Structure 1
Amino acid sequence: MRFHTRKWVKPEDLNPNQSLFGGRLLQWIDEEAALYAIIQLENTHIVTKFISEINFISSPKQGDIIEIGIVATKFGTTSLTLRCEVRNKMDHQQILTIDRLVFVNLNKEGMPTPHGKTAITFVADRLLR
């Protein structure tokens, strides 16, 4: 799993317990996963269809730097399934895991459409085509 996105936990990200608000973390994850799906499917018209059980393992505090890891686990006809892990950048303590985030590829009319992808590709490789 590659960890690309890093976030710094700031005062505005905290809940009343002075730890990272879970909703803020889920917002960051959904955005990062959507960007990952857009890049993999080469289409800006995608939607989040499903997020499986969310396992909160530890609570980041103000000042922590966290990183979000995403990996594609399944390419469906119109969908892409991802797995996510969030960890503390400094000590690699696990913060959260999500086994399945499913995104659906849409056409310009907003209808599910086949994407034709079967494996992870990298932008650098696509540019060589």
Structure 2
Amino acid sequence: MRFHTRKWVKPEDLNPNGTLFGGRLLQWIDEEVALYAIIQLEIPKTVTKFMSEIDFVSSAKQGDIIEIGIEVVKFGRSSITLSCEVRNKITRKTIISIDKIIMVSLDTEGKPVAHGKTKIEYVKDRLQDIDE
């Protein structure tokens, strides 16, 4: 799993118990997987279709640094399926794991559109294609 983004848990991210609010964490995850899918599929109109069971394993508190990891599970015709893990950057302790997140590319009318991708592409490879 590649960890792409780090977040610093601030006072505004806390629930009444003084730990990271689950809704805030899900917001961060949804944004991160959306950005990842849009970049991979190169279709700006890509949305969340499905998230499997969400398992909060541990919590985070103010001042913790967390990191969000994403892994591609598979490419569909108009979708990309990802898994996600969020962990404490310092302790490496898992905070949450999600086995399956499906993102779908849409056309201008909001209908699923084929993206034509079958494998992960890295920026360095895309830049190499431009240089050639």
Shorter-chain TM-score range? over 0.9
Q: Where does 1:1-129 land on structure 2 (aligned, <5 Å)? A: 1-129=1-129
Whole-angstrom CA distance in 2 between matches of 1:116 and 1:4: 24
Q: Secondary structure at the match of 1:128?
A: helix
TM-score (norm 2): 0.96
Q: What is the CA-CA distance between 1:123 and the residue it aligns to?
A: 1.4
Whole-angstrom CA distance in 2 between matches of 1:32 and 1:96: 14
Q: Deviations over 1:65-119 (max 9, x none)?
A: 0000011111001110000000000010010000000000111222101111111
Whole-angstrom CA distance in 2 between matches of 1:79 and 1:49: 9
Q: Percent identity?
A: 68
Instruction: Name the count of aligned residue pairs.
Output: 129
Q: Secondary structure at the match of 1:25?
A: helix
AA aligned to 2:92 is H
> What RMSD in Å do the two structures reach over aligned CA positions?
0.6
Whole-angstrom CA distance in 1 between matches of 2:9 and 2:36: 22
Q: Deviations over 1:5-52 (max 9, x none)?
A: 000000000001000000000000000000000011011111100000
Q: What is the CA-CA distance between 1:59 and the residue it aligns to?
A: 0.6
Q: Secondary structure at the match of 1:110?
A: coil
Whole-angstrom CA distance in 1 between matches of 2:29 and 2:15: 17
Q: Secondary structure at the match of 1:117?
A: coil
TM-score (norm 1): 0.98
- Stretches of 4+ moved more than 3 A in 1? none
